[in-house]
Amino acid sequence: MLAEVEADQMKVLVVDDELGPRESLRMLLKKKYEVECAENVDKALGMLKDMRPDVVIMDISMPGKNGIQGLQELRQLDKQAAVVMLTGFGTLETAQEALRHGANDYINKPFDTSEMMDLVDRFSRQSRMERRRARVVKDLQEMNSRLMEDVANKDHLATLGQSSAEFAHDLRNPLMIVRGYVDLLNEQLDRARTMEGGEYGDVSNYLTIIEQNVERCCDLASMWQKLGKSDSGQFQEIPITQIFEDVMMSIEPLIAALDVEIEYQVSHNEGTLLGSRAQLLRAIHNLVSNSIDAVDPVTGRIVLECHEDGEKLYIQVKDNGCGMPNDVVERFFQPYFTTKANGKGTGLGTAISKRIVEEHDGTISVESTVDKGTKITITLPLSKQQ
């Protein structure tokens, strides 16, 4: 397996036994890409692991191992790198053979510089997205394996039952985000396919959000595995701004299909909390999700506010939703209590949020008025080490 390291700058590996074409490609591409060259297949394969190129440009006709043989060996090491074959023959049979063995495209020598730049630009983006997609799939598979193994080995049935319900509840939110962005990604890719050499637009951002939420699922799986172990309560220093960046990123797809207005009133600060980043995101996300369910899908408005006051951090989630009568407010944090229709909620979200806040030595309260809205306030102690 090749190391899964992804640099910001796209990388191109040129493989050609002739100095002229190698240097021509280096000069053409070096302003935009990191370019490395090899004069034969064996040297290129040796460079592959450390360089991890996004695009490989390989001549078909070379002494020793030719380009087709090199392509076959390359595909055994790296299935995501895009490969463009250079051919001086220009025959259909040569091109078809290269495509059968996993090449993405071919171009005749001498090549047109504009066509070459277009190919490298398109395939470098495609390769980068394919690597990220493969990583997401791998993460999901590993998470599923850990869960299956852990469930099989759990013998504390009472703890397992309660924790299973909480875990299923928490996984639903990030997976809904993944599904929403996959739909957006597919729509954008369909449009891109109709435009030869077209830009991929927001696809890269969508992939980033998908990756972050898959990582969140993995974090939740890790917390599940640590139930009952002595290290499950270890906290770390977390910048407040980092927590809210995660919250904002995870909320946007939940309201993308609605006309709900969400406003962030987050004061700029350098404060930190001592706690669990995944758990705090979990708590705040549950409360915002409740507000989204409570407001009108057209006229709804939610305000997420955060500010410091001395040694404490105050987080408020306010909405103009349907509000709650006093008897419902009194049971708001009670596990399994819900006023939602069957199948719409488990009644665990607010209970989980309350437990997480209290585990961080904080407090949580709720105020609500029927037909006017609800305000939830979380108070957390700031780290004394900042």
Model pLDDT for residues 253-295, shown as the tens digit of each residue: 667 667 788 888 887 666 788 888 878 888 898 898 889 888 9
Q: Are residues 312 and 353 in the same domain?
A: yes
Q: How confident is the model at residue 188 (pLDDT cuts 50, 70, 90)?
A: low
Specify the number of domains making up the chain.
3
Stated pTM of the model: 0.47
314 falls within a domain: yes
| Residue 213 CA, distance from chain mean position | 5
User: Do 242 and 204 fall into the same domain?
Assistant: no
- CB atoms inside a 10 Å sphere around CB 187: 12
Structure tokens at 59: 């001549």
pLDDT the model gives residue 326 = 92
CATH of the domain at 62: 3.40.50.2300
Classify residue 66: in a domain, yes or no: yes
Portion of the chain with pLDDT greater than 70, in percent = 69
222 plus 249 within the same structural domain:
no
136 within domain boundaries: no
70-104, pLDDT tens digit by residue?
A: 999 998 898 889 999 988 765 667 777 888 888 88
pLDDT in the model for residue 96: 77
Confidence of residue 3 (pLDDT cuts 50, 70, 90): very low
Cβ neighbours of residue 316 closer than 8 Å, sequence gap 6 or more = 303, 304, 305, 306, 375, 376, 377, 378
pLDDT at residue 182, rounded to an integer: 67
Q: What is the pLDDT of residue 88?
A: 76
- 6 part of a folded domain: no
Q: Where a domain ends, among 229, 264, 289?
A: 229
Q: For residue 228, name the pLDDT band (cuts at 50, 70, 90).
A: very low
Express each pLDDT in 330-382 by its tens digit: 999 888 777 776 656 667 788 889 999 999 999 999 999 999 999 999 999 98
Same domain for 51 and 158, yes or no, is: no
Question: Greater confidence, 33 or 144?
Answer: 33
- The 10 Å Cβ neighbour count of residue 288 is 22
Q: Residue 186's pLDDT is what?
A: 63
**For 131-164, how does the pLDDT look when each residue is reduced to its tens digit (9 = 90+)?**
877 777 777 667 666 665 665 555 444 455 556 5
Between 232 and 199, the more confident residue is 199
pLDDT of residue 317: 94
- Assess whether 46 and 79 both reside in one domain: yes
**Residue numbers of the domain that contains 164:** 154-229
For the chain, the C-alpha Rg in angstroms (whole number) is: 27
For residue 5, the model assigns a pLDDT of 38
Residues in Cβ contact with 75 at an 8 Å cutoff, skipping those fewer than 6 apart? 83, 101, 102
Query: Confidence class of residue 319 from pLDDT cuts 50, 70 and 90?
Result: very high
The more confidently predicted of residues 167 and 291 is 291
**Judgement on whether residues 163 and 113 belong to the same structural domain of the protein:** no
95 and 114 assigned to the same domain: yes
- In the predicted structure, residue 54 carries a pLDDT above the cut 90: yes
127 in a domain, yes or no?
no
Do 198 and 261 share a structural domain?
A: no
pLDDT above 50 (res 57): yes
CA angle 276/277/283 to nearest 5° reads 90
* Residue 278 token pair: 């995944």
Strongest mean pLDDT among 5-19, 104-118, 336-350: 104-118
Residue 208 — pLDDT band, cuts 50, 70, 90? Answer: low
**Domain C-terminal end among 229, 247, 267:** 229
Q: State the Cα–Cα distance between residues 26 and 29, nearest whole angstrom.
A: 5
The residue that leads in pLDDT, 311 or 134, is 311
The answer to whether residue 250 is domain-embedded is: yes
Q: For residue 278, what pLDDT is reported?
A: 79
First to last CA, the chain: 41
Q: Are residues 263 and 350 in the same domain?
A: yes
Please indicate, yes or no, if residue 5 is contained in any of the structural domains.
no
Same domain (yes/no): 255, 174: no
Residue 308 predicted with pLDDT over 70: yes
Q: What is the CATH number of the domain that holds 249?
A: 3.30.565.10
In a shared domain, residues 223 and 240: no
CA atoms within 13 A on the CB side of 368: 23
Identify which of 27, 22, 51, 56 has the alpha carbon closest to the alpha carbon of residue 39. 22
Establish if 26 belongs to a structural domain: yes
* Residue 46: band (very low, low, confident or very high) from pLDDT cuts 50, 70, 90: very high
Summary mean pLDDT of the chain: 79
Q: What is the mean pLDDT of residues 49-67?
A: 90
In this structure, are 203 and 303 located in the same domain? no
Which of 229, 248, 263 is a domain's end point?
229
